[in-house]
Structure formats: structure tokens, C-alpha cells
Amino acid sequence: MSEPKSKRAPKLDGATIAEEDDGIRLDRWFKRHREGTPHALLARWARSGQLTLDGKKADVSDRIATGQKLVMPTPPVEAEARPARKGRPLTDADIELATGMVIHRDASAIVLNKPPGLATQGGTKTEQHVDGLLDALKFDGPVRPKLVHRLDKDTSGALLIARTPRAAAYFAKSFSNRSARKTYWAIVVGVPDIAQGEIDLPLAKQPGSGGEKMHVHESGLASKTRYRVIERAGNSAAWVELQPLTGRTHQLRVHMAAIGHPIVGDGKYGGKGAFLTGTISRKMHLHSRRLRIDHPDGGAIDISAEVPEHFAASLDALGFDTLLGEVGIDDVAKGPSPKAAEKAAAKAHSKQIRKARRGERRGRTATSKPTDHVGKPKAKTGKPATRKPGAKKPPRPARPR
């Protein structure tokens, strides 16, 4: 009697979690990168242990982290060919909102100035989000644009959208290898003791928060943030420039709160102490000010996004000079220090004075006679007497006793 044929093992597929996907749910990753894979199929893979992260059994609700190795079965052809579920039809207001956010557009990329309060992607009880508005930003492009990174719902500013699959892969790699440069502006409570520095604190998901909140933990992922105090409002608040050197979830918010200066309006990490009194808005004051990234067609994108109304009003209310924010961290790091610049200016001024004086001396006539400080001719002075070699020194006069 022949043995029963064993079930054929499914073909496996794999992927490495990129930086822009850090902290999202596993099922959200599939919506981004394996569009059309049914949720029921994902759940079946998870139950049977065919879905793993770093070799361990994974669930569709697990939060994923940068660098994790995801292994999954190759989806059947019918699942791959299944069209993605269409979102709700866009209204005229949706289209106006989407197109009004555009601050840069070319054949491969679109940059939006996302307002605070608008989520980047959908979630529980989130009906309006940037991802759901992308159909309005197709313009004359061949396909629907695609998100390549994200901003928190309450964070405003520059958000990059790829217009082609090639551009999406190129930009995703730039964010993953950290060649892209993101610069943020924030208003924080209090003033850091050191005006410019680097925060190096590992971050991990906070237990009991369902992955929705991060905290500093020695076993967490390496996280680094550069910062610079642009200006201070006494001891109550400071306007700072932030540059994330890694891309962890809520990194800037956790780092600033960890050093005792939470971002104004960030009650999630700063509690009641994150709010200022008076006319300062209770909205979060974190803005993606500038984005610099290489372009897939050559050159680079370097774009700045204007701050939202509440942020601008707070800058004005606190008496900050907006021109001071135009000098970035990189410019300050490469340029001379203020003291060195002052010394250089003084040196140049002195050099000009010396040149002018040399010109005056050259202009003197040969017949002119040198004068003393009152204008009278200077008396001729003879050369001091010198001793001949071998001559004895004259005797010193005797001291009176």
C-alpha cells in the first residue's frame, strides 16, 4: 500500500522592514506593499504559523520595527490580481484640500504641506487622510501616487509622495539608508541648558499601550536626534530646530520630553506640563519645515513648507524673530562660530586701516621734514656710542654711602 502524498510546502516570500514602516501594524504593511492580499488570507497564514517576524510567529496586529525580517507564503495568483478595495468617492472639498496642499510637483514626485489634524493614513475611526486623497493628485500621471513616508496626525509640514513605482522604490531606499534629510521646527517648554547638541536615547514600545506609545529604554532601538535652539522666550519656552538621524516612531516627541522640554501641545508625552498659558494654542507645535532628498531623475529636491497658522501665531506671541530660523543646523555646523566671525571682521577692518596708512606714507614728498607731535621739526639725534671689540667697560660711579 503506497504512502499518502504529503502536502506541497508553499513557496515562501520575504522582505526586510524599511524605516518608513517602523511602528505600523503588520496588516498595514501588507496594504502598502502587497496590495490586494485579502485580510482573511493573512489571518489564516498567522494562525498556521506561516507568517513570521525574525523567525517568530507573527500576528496581523503586531507592530513591526525597522530591520525585522518578514517571511510569508507567496500569495496565490488570484489574490495578487484582486483589485484593492476602493475608498469613498472624493468630494469637491476633498479635491480642493488635496490640491491646495501641493507645494512641489514634477514627473516623479509631489511634496505636500500637510496641515495638523490630518492623518497620513487611515485607521480606526479615521475617515479622512492623505492616503485617501491621493486619487485627486494623480494629475496627468500614469498611476495613483504612493506614500513613501509619513507624519503623525498632529504634525504638519513637508510630506513626500511618489508618482511612479520607480520613484517610490528610489525614495523608500533614500529614507531607509538615511540619505534623506528632514528638518523640523518645534516650540518646546523651557530652554535646554546646551544650545546645540545631539540626543542619543534608545526607544522601545511602551508596554500596555498597544504599541501606540514609545518610551526610552536601554533595550530599545538606537535613536539619535540633532537639535539647535534658534531663540528663547526668557526661560518659559524655546524655538528649536530638530533633525532626526534615525526614524523611530514619535522620536522627536519622546526625545524632547525625555530631556525635560516637551513639545508645546504634546500632551501624550508631556502631560499637563506641555501646555503654555495665555494665547498660545493647545495644538502641537511640531512642523516638518524642510525636506532634502536626491531625485530619481538626477539632482535633488530641497523644499521648505510654511508653518500653519497656530504655529505662526505662537512665534509672534512669544516674540521670536522668524529670520533666525533660516540658518539651519548644517549651516551652523559648517560655518564659523559667532566669535570667530567677529574676530575675522575685526582683522579685515584693521588690514584696511594699515593699507590706508601705507598709502599716506607713500604720498609724502621728499622735501617734507618729519615733525614732532606739535608740528616742530624733530631734533637730529646721533647714533648711540658703541664699544670697540676688546675694550673694557667704563667703571661704574661709586654709590653714595
DSSP labels, 350-391: HHHHHHHHHHHHHTS-TT---B-TTSPBPPP-PPPP-PPTTP
Query: What band does 370 get if pLDDT is binned at 50, 70 and 90?
Result: very low
Q: Where are the alpha helices (DSSP H) in 283-377?
A: 309-317, 329-334, 338-362
CATH class of 178-334: alpha beta
Separation in Å, CA 47 to CA 36, 41, 44, 70, 132:
20, 10, 5, 16, 30
Q: Which residues pair with 179 in a beta bridge?
A: none
- Give start-end residues of each CATH 3.10.290.10 domain in the chain: 12-81
pLDDT band of 98, cuts 50, 70, 90: very high
- Catalytic residue positions? 152
> Rounded distance, CA 18 to CA 246, Å?
12
- Let me know if 363 is exposed, middle or buried by CB neighbors in 10 A (0-12, 13-18, 19+): exposed
**Do residues 250 and 214 lie in contact, with contact meaning Cβ atoms separated by under 8 Å?**
yes
Scanning 228-305, the segments in alpha helix (DSSP H) are 251-258, 267-270
CATH code for residues 12-81: 3.10.290.10
Let me know: does 210 contact 268? Beta carbons within 8 Å: no
* Percent of the chain residues past pLDDT 90, beyond the cut: 55
**Helices 26-33, 39-47: crossing angle, 10 deg rounding:** 130
What's the confidence (pLDDT) of residue 209? 77
| Beta-carbon contacts of residue 118 (< 8 Å; ≥ 6 apart) | 128, 129, 130, 153
Q: How confident is the model at residue 6 (pLDDT cuts 50, 70, 90)?
A: very low
What digits encode the pLDDT tens for the residues 123-162? 767 788 999 999 999 998 888 999 999 999 999 999 999 9
Is-contact 63 29, C-beta < 8 A?
A: no
Q: Whose CA is closest to 128, among 159, 156, 89, 100? A: 89
Model confidence pLDDT, tens digit, residues 335-369: 454 555 555 556 665 666 666 666 555 555 444 44
- Residue 29 sits at φ, ψ, to 5 deg, of -60, -40
Q: Where in the chain is the domain with CATH 3.30.2350.10?
A: 178-334
Number of Cβ atoms within 10 Å of the Cβ of 31: 19
Cell of 153: 496626525
- The helix/strand/coil state of 32 is helix
